[in-house]
Amino acid sequence: MKVLEPCEALLSNYEVLEHVQDVKRRYREEITEKGRAVAMKPGNLETVMKELIDYLTSTAAASQTSETSSHLVESLTRFNFEKIEVLMILNHLPKNETELDVLIEELESRLAEKEIAEILEAIHTVLETKTNFEVSGP
Amino acid sequence: MFILTRLTDLITIQPTSFTLPTRQAIEDQINTRYANKVIHKVGLAICLYDILKSSDGLIGSGTGSVNINVEFRLIVFRPFKGEVLTGRISNSTPNGISVRLDFFDEIFIPKDYLFEGSVFDHNEQVWVWRTEDGDELFFDKNECVRFRVEEEEFVDNTPVDPALRDSLADADMTPPYKLIGSCYQSGLGVVAWW
């Protein structure tokens, strides 16, 4: 084994959830097609996928779709956030200023109150799109 | 929280897997080898993301297995320093609070990294944050907490003789990857507080 590039890209929680659910779906289709014995998957993969889905569906990732998240990222570009700050906003979808302040360093000196309100509004619209969802953490 | 890591590895496919499409056989092998395992100084590997390149398969003498050089990317759990995560409190001791995510258990918030004015309640076995207003806020077990990642620690465990492994208690095994978190800023701590 050789590590060529330890960190090639960052993934958002939503992207990981999508990918894992995709893998799971593919395996399930195979089971119905060929029978359980042929489509056996490694046990360690099964464990980590189940636990990861349990965790991620209880976070903000479950309330996103690829459209809403790319839309949110676009609306955040004009605030000159660092890449990791955008990523954290995407993963947490903060609901109020205190929650946003934890994610963004020196929030108040960097942005005007009006701009903060705009960000929270943009996040709110993402949450609106999937209604019966509660962001209560894992 | 998650990153993509590019690796190469020599993947061996046993003759019993020859009935499968090559692609699937390679995927299964990679997942068996890496899923839910810690790669030293990289992080906790979750699963295969995609295969970038693979060489022709070569049959080694004596075994009949096919050896293929594969270049691929893995999804890896590796939060960066300063990242904010949410998890559940799994245990509290006078030294601090243990937090777990469903798929990762080794997170510890030492007592020095808790809010100023936090005390440990020995009767209830929980940490209590006494705020300046005189309120008492409890870090109850199984509560959902938000914390910041302060440090990470990789330990390269030397393999243990399989014959001795059973006699070792779990406590003797140091986790290969663990995180140290903090909770001393407004917005952190139990999610329901804010």
Q: State how far residue A20 is from chain B, nearest Cα, in angstroms.
A: 8
Provide CATH 2.40.50.140 ranges for chain B. 84-193
Q: Whole-prediction pTM value?
A: 0.87
Let me know if residue A137 belongs to a domain: no
Which of A4, A23, A49 is the closest to B8 by Cβ?
Answer: A4
User: Looking at the complex, does the CB of residue B2 fall below 8 Å from at least one CB of chain A?
Assistant: yes
ipTM: 0.85
pLDDT (tens place) for every residue of chain B, 194 residues total: 999 999 999 999 999 888 888 998 999 999 999 999 999 999 999 999 999 999 998 998 888 899 999 999 999 999 999 999 999 999 999 999 999 999 999 999 999 999 988 999 999 899 999 888 888 899 999 999 999 999 999 998 777 777 776 666 655 678 899 999 999 888 898 888 87
Residues of B in contact with A48 (CB under 8 A): 35-36, 46-47, 103
The answer to whether residue A24 sits within a structural domain is yes
In this structure, which long-range contacts are made by residues A104-107, counting pairs with CB atoms below 8 Å and at least 24 apart in sequence? none
CA–CA dist A100, B187 (Å, integer): 8
- Per CATH, which fold does B2-77 belong to? Dna Ligase; domain 1 (3.30.1490)
Q: Does residue A124 share a domain with residue A68? A: yes
Instruction: Please state the CATH superfamily assignment of the domain spanning residues B84-193 in this structure.
Output: Nucleic acid-binding proteins (2.40.50.140)
B84, closest residue in chain A (CA to CA)? A103
A44 and A72 in a single domain? The answer is no
Residues of chain A with Cβ-Cβ distance to B148 below 8 Å are: 102
Same domain for A116 and A68: yes
Total count of domains within chain A:
2
Q: Hey, are the CB atoms on A5 and B5 less than 8 Å from each other?
A: yes
Is there a contact between B8 and A1 if contact means CB atoms under 8 Å apart? yes
Is there a contact between B7 and A42 if contact means CB atoms under 8 Å apart?
A: no
**Does residue A23 fall inside a structural domain?**
yes
CATH number at residue A77: 1.20.1250.40
Q: β-strands B104-110, B177-182: how paired?
A: parallel
Q: Residue A3 is nearest to which of B5, B75, B144, comparing CB atoms?
A: B5
Region(s) of chain B under CATH 3.30.1490.120: 2-77
User: Last residue of a domain, which of A23, A41, A57?
Assistant: A57
One domain, residues A68 and A123 = yes
Q: How far apart are CA B26 and CA B183, in angstroms?
A: 43
Residues A122 and A71 in one domain: yes
Assess if residue A105 is contained within a domain: yes
Which residues have a Cβ under 8 Å from the Cβ of B153 and sit 6 or more positions away? B177, B178, B179, B180
Range of the domain at A106: 64-129
